[in-house]
Amino acid sequence: KQEVTQIPAALSVPEGENLVLNCSFTDSAIYNLQWFRQDPGKGLTSLLLIQSSQREQTSGRLNASLDKSSGRSTLYIAASQPGDSATYLCALETSGSRLTFGEGTQLTVNP
């Protein structure tokens, strides 16, 4: 059974800092890995999707990496802003389009 762990559970940083969120998983037989953002009481916004054959993806100030051999992914956020405050979830897609989510990292960026 796939298990997904995100560290840290919560993170508070001053505006402008670069930061890294971590995601680890136990089963490397994945189709892809996604990072999502969830604002309080809201649904999910997809940020980045890394295919199983890829090592990283970039979108603006966000960069996500994937290392299947070690079962790890990181989400790097450059020059953080208060608007980045949200919960960040990583999710792995396995067979049947099933997504297994981590418990998320709650990020607070202080102005």
Query: What does the binding site for another protein look like in residue numbers (CB under 8 A)?
Result: 4, 31-32, 36, 41-46, 49, 51, 89, 91, 93, 96-104
User: Which is closer to another protein, CB of 22 or CB of 32?
Assistant: 32
Helix (H) / strand (E) containing 13: strand 10-14
Q: How far is the CB of 56 from another protein (least distance, A)?
A: 16
Q: How far is the CB of 39 from another protein (least distance, A)?
A: 10
Supply the Cα-derived Rg of the chain in whole angstroms. Answer: 13
Q: How far is the CB of 5 from another protein (least distance, A)?
A: 10
Alpha-carbon distances, residue 93 vs 12, 80, 107 (angstroms)? 29, 28, 24
